[in-house]
Amino acid sequence: MKYLSSVVACAAALLMIGCAGRIHETPPKKNIASTGHGASGKAVVSDDTWDDEADIEVSDPYEGFNRAIFSFNHALYTVLIKPVSKTYDFLVPELLRRGIHNAYENVRFPVRLVNHSLQGKFDRAARETGKFIVNSTLGVGGLMTASDKFPALAETPVSDTGQTFAKWGIPSGPYLVLPLLGPSGVRDGLGAAGDAALNPVSWVAFIFGGAVWTVAVSAPDSAHRWPGQMDQYDTLTKDSLDRYIAARTAYIQYRRGVMKR
């Protein structure tokens, strides 16, 4: 029983870490619910966000399973995560929340450094290193983004393991909806596991010998991100005829845009 509890706690910790790091930017909001079916039988979504890619085929052979998980996530977001995140937003001053978020982003430096390097983007890896040094020193341990004051370091594109796999030519695989993590794919799901392994926050479980430490350390960042993610989710899906398709389309568009950077 003790072993089973440890396994469950570890899984919850990894999910929390993955959830904290998945969304960095707002996905596109245009035409998110326009769908049809191509000659191949795959779902085709209209995408006017990028003119050179008018149609996007989505491989969704597990739609029944995905919809079940999507419904579970929707209920969990509505009943638990949204109230918790709104309470955190209300109780913790905005300046403190921003500082906490900046510190966690600074700690995630290995994720970006390793993936920029594996993609052969050594100029970006060098910029990430510069950002980390500046923010860790002038930014007081990453609480402030002092690197924004340096044009050469500002606005360095983020990078993750899913992008690296795409760069290596690994196909995205079938669309998946993961518990808590939400929209993904086989490639991005494995990428999220890689990001968690590279994230120093997840190392806490191994150093201190328990996932409870990992959950405790990662919880503030997750609580900070959730309100924005909930607002994003509501904006993308509230007026759609099918929330599932709206979320799926927005995710595919967003990840396609990320892969182009």
Mean pLDDT in residue range 117-123: 96
pLDDT single digits (tens) 209-242: 666 776 777 777 777 777 777 778 888 888 888 9
Judged by average pLDDT, the poorest of 68-77, 150-159, 227-236 is: 227-236
Indicate the pTM of the whole model.
Answer: 0.76
pLDDT for residue 56 = 59
pLDDT higher at 69 or 32: 69
Q: Are 199 and 111 in contact (CB under 8 A)?
A: yes
pLDDT single digits (tens) 173-203: 999 999 988 899 999 999 999 998 999 988 8
Three-state helix/strand/coil letters over the chain: CHHHHHHHHHHHHHHHHHHHHHCCCCCCCCCCCCEEECCCCCEEEECCCCCCCCEEEECCCCHHHHHHHHHHHHHHHHHHHHHHHHHHHHHCCHHHHHHHHHHHHHHCHHHHHHHHHHCCCHHHHHHHHHHHHHHHHCCCCCCCCHHHHCCCCCCCCCCCHHHHHHHCCCCCCCEEEECCCEEEEHHHHHHHHHHHHHCHHHHHHHHHCCHHHHHHHHHHHHHHHHHHHHHHHHHHHCCCCCHHHHHHHHHHHHHHHHHCC
State the Cα–Cα distance between residues 25 and 155, nearest whole angstrom: 12
258 pLDDT band, cuts 50/70/90, is: confident
Helix axes 63-76, 243-259, angle to 10 degrees: 100
Mean pLDDT in the chain?
79
pLDDT for residue 210 = 66
Q: Are 73 and 182 in contact (CB under 8 A)?
A: yes
- Find the largest Cα–Cα distance for the chain: 57
Whether residue 126 has pLDDT greater than 60: yes
pLDDT higher at 160 or 86: 160
| 28-32-37 Cα angle (round to 5) | 130
69 pLDDT band, cuts 50/70/90, is: very high
Whether residue 18 has pLDDT greater than 90: no
pLDDT for residue 29 = 45
State the Cα–Cα distance between residues 133 and 147, nearest whole angstrom: 9
Residues constituting the chain? 261
